């Protein structure tokens, strides 16, 4: 093996930040730590949380250098003194790094506690850096608590974890917690570009963009992938270049030009071309789930171009401008939902390729009817199971207008070999007319006011998330067949197309005819069912606590035995249990 190969240092280690100023992202954490170091208000236990590869242990090591640098405590350690060099090299005697994943037992923690009592050998502080601290056993945590609560003045604890929810609340309450953010693609792309320039490696923008996207918020993962790509492409040697096609092959991702070809075939309603493109794609053995992700991402960018024309969109092989002009915005929304649902169901398909093909064929088969209505509820029906056209009604009576829900009916896309569009599903049955009498469409009753709306919510029979949507919506108005409801900005996430469709159907049944349900964002002008239920629940809780406290047996325990009632510990009886 060549001598130089033995000394190669992977990029993630070679380019690990040595100072706070070299960190990518995490400005909120750096600012807080800098202020603490400059002011001397240094907490004895710091907890760094976040996904893998975002800088938790790196920040902890820089902080340890800041505490023990021979030039004094400060936010900018010199990096040149023996202490700084020893910490960078991982051999500083007063920085004890413990991997909790492999040292979970209480014995390890007891050794730590015993050693913590002794003064540092060289530095000002003895620093304990415990990585993946959530892996410690409960017994180990309990052994650590006393020292963590009242540590010696010369000891600092630095904890790092990817799963803070597994930590005991007694540990969390004794730590100053910093939540590190996932890095966005632009930040990772910028750092990769900087490193490639410094390493004198030629790479095109598409290759860097693919690596940044595959890093999924982790700079360390991005650097590991970059190392892999350099080795795979041979770009580390003289004359080599890291290009997008090579990176795509390594990652198993799909060339954006192929995504564009699929979109063009769909836009032109060309089924043969669509399947030909899928067959060509299959020759590269792609990750079909990742391909659907790329497909959905392209649709997102097309929709942004349509609805926010001035927004900056990253250029690639997808003809965003041309497709944005050719496709209706509501169709883009529909395809996006189908792509998401297709990805979710891919594991249930007979094979990943067939699941991918069926998702695209579903997009080809069903489209919203052309109309001037653009309510998002009309998109939801594309994601419901009953996508197939229903059979036409028997021709026993003349065709008459029929009431439909406020969702736009899907139709099969036009094709010379396909049957004409068939009649949509009827929400409510049409009563049989008397002989010679023409039936009239059913008209819905009107929601008169907020109290009427609350009664509808109580009686509508919805369950789960759909009921949450109804309970958080306040009545605004009901006019011209449209029921307007108000949601606050915080509750806007409840308004998914499928839930709106369920609510529309339920309200239409309650009112005896078709109703369109639409939403506005703002402060409700009236009370919501959620607020009313919460107020009633609070009243029941107060009554439960009062009755509990007035119980003679409880009063005897309090007065004679010194018992006390812990606030918040009293629970209401089961709803089906008798009050006595």
Summarize pLDDT for 531-563 with one digit per residue, the tens.
888 888 878 888 888 888 888 888 877 777 777
Dist CA 154 CA 123 (whole Å): 9
34 versus 533: the higher-pLDDT residue is 34
361 and 332 in a single domain? The answer is yes
Q: Using CB atoms within 10 A of its CB, is residue 193 exposed (0-12), middle (13-18) or buried (19+)?
A: middle
Q: What is the pLDDT of residues 497-506, one digit of tens each?
A: 888 888 998 9
Mean pLDDT of the chain: 80
**Looking at residues 364-372, what average pLDDT do you find?**
66
Q: Do the domain assignments include residue 38? A: yes
Q: Tell me, what CATH number does 150's domain have?
A: 3.40.50.300
Q: What is the pLDDT of residue 448?
A: 86
38 versus 435: the higher-pLDDT residue is 38
Most confident option among 164-173, 231-240, 438-447: 164-173
**Looking at residues 279-285, what average pLDDT do you find?**
86
Q: What is the pLDDT of residue 423?
A: 40
DSSP per-residue string spanning 255-298: -HHHHHHHHHHHHTT-HHHHHHHHHHHHTT---HHHHHHHHHHH
When pLDDT is cut at 50, 70 and 90, the band that residue 369 belongs to is low
pLDDT at 424 exceeding the cut of 80: no
Dist CA 495 CA 501 (whole Å): 10
44 and 140 in a single domain? The answer is yes
State whether residue 179 is helix, strand or coil: strand
When pLDDT is cut at 50, 70 and 90, the band that residue 157 belongs to is very high
120 and 38 in a single domain? The answer is yes
Q: Using CB atoms within 10 A of its CB, is residue 313 exposed (0-12), middle (13-18) or buried (19+)?
A: middle
Dist CA 137 CA 102 (whole Å): 11
Find residue 130's DSSP bridge partners: 98, 159
pLDDT at 370 exceeding the cut of 60: no
When pLDDT is cut at 50, 70 and 90, the band that residue 572 belongs to is low
pLDDT at 445 exceeding the cut of 60: yes
220 and 297 in a single domain? The answer is no
390 versus 119: the higher-pLDDT residue is 119
Domain boundary among 153, 179, 205: 179
pLDDT at 415 exceeding the cut of 80: no
42 and 109 in a single domain? The answer is yes
Q: Tell me, what CATH number does 503's domain have?
A: 3.30.300.150
How many CA atoms lie less than 13 Å away from 103 in the CB half-sphere?
A: 16
Q: What is the pLDDT of residues 220-277, one digit of tens each?
A: 999 999 998 888 887 766 556 888 888 887 887 777 788 999 999 999 999 999 999 9
208 and 235 in a single domain? The answer is yes
Q: What is the pLDDT of residue 307?
A: 92
Q: Do the domain assignments include residue 202? A: yes
Q: Do the domain assignments include residue 418? A: no
When pLDDT is cut at 50, 70 and 90, the band that residue 422 belongs to is very low
DSSP per-residue string spanning 433-465: PPTTPPP-PPPPPP--SHHHHHHHHHHS---HH
**Looking at residues 565-574, what average pLDDT do you find?**
66
**Phi, psi of 226, rounded to the nearest 5 degrees:** -65, -45
41 and 138 in a single domain? The answer is yes
Q: Tell me, what CATH number does 314's domain have?
A: 1.20.272.10
190 and 225 in a single domain? The answer is yes
User: How big is the CA angle at 199 (ends 197 and 204), to the nearest 5 degrees?
Assistant: 45
**Looking at residues 167-178, what average pLDDT do you find?**
89
When pLDDT is cut at 50, 70 and 90, the band that residue 575 belongs to is very low
**Looking at residues 171-194, what average pLDDT do you find?**
91
25 and 121 in a single domain? The answer is yes
15-29, 258-272, 298-312, 427-441: segment of lowest average pLDDT: 427-441
% helix, strand, coil for the chain, step of 5: 50, 10, 40
Q: Do the domain assignments include residue 440? A: no
Q: Which residues contact 269 (CB under 8 A, 6 or more apart)?
A: 364, 413, 414, 415
Q: What is the pLDDT of residue 194?
A: 93
Q: Do the domain assignments include residue 1? A: no
When pLDDT is cut at 50, 70 and 90, the band that residue 366 belongs to is confident
95 and 171 in a single domain? The answer is yes
**Phi, psi of 218, rounded to the nearest 5 degrees:** -110, 115
Cβ contact 123:91 at 8 Å: no
Domain boundary among 383, 409, 431: 383
Q: What is the pLDDT of residue 419?
A: 40
Structural domains in the chain (count): 5
Q: What is the pLDDT of residues 448-489, one digit of tens each?
A: 888 999 999 998 888 888 888 999 999 999 988 889 999 988
Q: What is the pLDDT of residue 58?
A: 93
196 and 149 in a single domain? The answer is no
Adjacency order of strands within the sheet including 45-49: 95-99, 126-131, 155-161, 45-49, 176-179
Domain extent for 221? 185-251
User: Which H helix or E strand runs over 35?
Assistant: helix 27-39
Q: What is the pLDDT of residue 250?
A: 81
pLDDT at 425 exceeding the cut of 80: no
Q: Do the domain assignments include residue 117? A: yes
Q: What is the pLDDT of residues 285-333, one digit of tens each?
A: 788 988 999 899 999 999 999 999 888 887 677 889 999 999 999 999 9
pLDDT at 160 exceeding the cut of 90: yes
Domain boundary among 490, 511, 527: 527
User: How big is the CA angle at 171 (ends 52 and 166), to the nearest 5 degrees?
Assistant: 45
22 and 170 in a single domain? The answer is yes
Cβ contact 542:572 at 8 Å: no
Q: Tell me, what CATH number does 247's domain have?
A: 1.10.8.60
Q: What is the pLDDT of residues 109-147, one digit of tens each?
A: 888 888 888 899 888 999 999 998 988 888 888 888 888
pLDDT at 566 exceeding the cut of 90: no
Dist CA 547 CA 541 (whole Å): 10
Q: Do the domain assignments include residue 263? A: no
Q: Do the domain assignments include residue 420? A: no
Q: What is the pLDDT of residue 264?
A: 94
């Amino acid at each position: 093996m060549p001598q130089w190969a033995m000394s190669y240092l992977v990029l993630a280690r070679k380019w690990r930040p040595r100072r706070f100023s070299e960190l990518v992202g995490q400005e909120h954490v750096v600012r807080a730590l800098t202020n603490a170091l400059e002011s001397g208000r240094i907490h004895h236990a710091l907890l760094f949380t976040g996904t893998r590869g975002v800088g938790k242990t790196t920040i902890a090591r820089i902080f340890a250098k800041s505490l023990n640098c021979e030039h004094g405590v400060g936010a900018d350690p010199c990096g040149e003194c023996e202490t700084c060099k020893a910490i960078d090299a991982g051999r500083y005697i007063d920085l004890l790094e413990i991997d909790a994943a492999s040292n979970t037992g209480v014995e390890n923690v007891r050794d730590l506690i015993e050693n913590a009592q002794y003064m540092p050998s060289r530095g000002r502080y003895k620093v304990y850096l415990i990585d993946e601290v959530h892996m410690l056993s409960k017994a180990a945590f309990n052994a650590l608590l006393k020292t963590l609560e009242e540590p010696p003045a010369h000891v600092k604890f630095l904890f790092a974890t990817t799963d803070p929810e597994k930590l005991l609340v007694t540990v969390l309450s004794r730590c100053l917690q910093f939540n590190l953010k996932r890095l966005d693609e632009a930040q990772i792309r910028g750092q990769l570009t900087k490193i490639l320039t410094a390493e004198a490696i030629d790479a095109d923008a598409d290759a860097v963009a693919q690596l940044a996207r595959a890093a999924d918020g982790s700079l360390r993962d991005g650097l590991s992938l970059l190392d892999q790509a350099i080795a795979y492409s041979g770009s580390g040697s003289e004359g080599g270049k890291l290009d997008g096609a090579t990176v795509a092959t390594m990652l198993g991702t799909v060339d954006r030009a192929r995504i564009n070809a699929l979109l063009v075939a769909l836009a032109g309603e060309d089924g043969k071309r669509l399947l030909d493109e899928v067959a060509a794609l299959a020759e590269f053995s792609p990750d079909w789930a990742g391909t659907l992700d790329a497909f959905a991402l392209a649709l997102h960018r097309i929709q942004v171009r349509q609805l926010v024309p001035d927004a900056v969109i990253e250029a690639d092989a997808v003809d965003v401008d041309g497709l944005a002009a050719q496709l209706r915005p509501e169709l883009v929304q529909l395809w996006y939902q189908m792509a998401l649902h297709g990805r979710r169901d891919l594991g249930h398909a007979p094979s990943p390729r067939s699941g991918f093909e069926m998702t695209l064929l579903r997009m080809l088969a069903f489209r919203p009817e052309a109309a001037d209505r653009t309510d998002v509820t009309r998109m939801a029906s594309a994601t419901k199971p009953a996508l197939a056209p229903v059979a036409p009604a028997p021709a026993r009576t003349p065709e008459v207008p029929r009431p439909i829900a406020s969702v736009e009916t899907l139709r099969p896309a036009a094709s010379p070999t396909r049957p004409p569009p068939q009649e949509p599903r009827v929400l409510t049955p049409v009563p049989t007319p008397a002989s010679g009498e023409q039936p009239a469409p059913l008209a819905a009753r009107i929601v008169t006011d907020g109290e009427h709306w609350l009664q509808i919510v109580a009686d509508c029979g919805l369950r789960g998330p759909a009921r949450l949507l109804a309970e958080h919506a306040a009545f605004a108005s009901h006019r011209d067949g449209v029921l307007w409801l108000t949601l606050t900005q915080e509750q806007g996430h409840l308004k998914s197309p499928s839930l709106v469709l369920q609510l529309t159907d339920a309200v239409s049944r309650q009112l005896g005819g078709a109703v369109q349900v639409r939403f506005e964002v703002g402060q409700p002008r009236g009370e919501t069912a959620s607020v009313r239920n919460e107020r009633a629940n609070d009243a029941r809780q107060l009554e439960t606590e009062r009755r509990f406290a007035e119980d003679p047996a409880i009063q005897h325990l309090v007065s004679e035995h010194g018992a006390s009632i812990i606030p918040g510990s009293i629970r209401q009886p089961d709803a089906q249990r008798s009050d006595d």
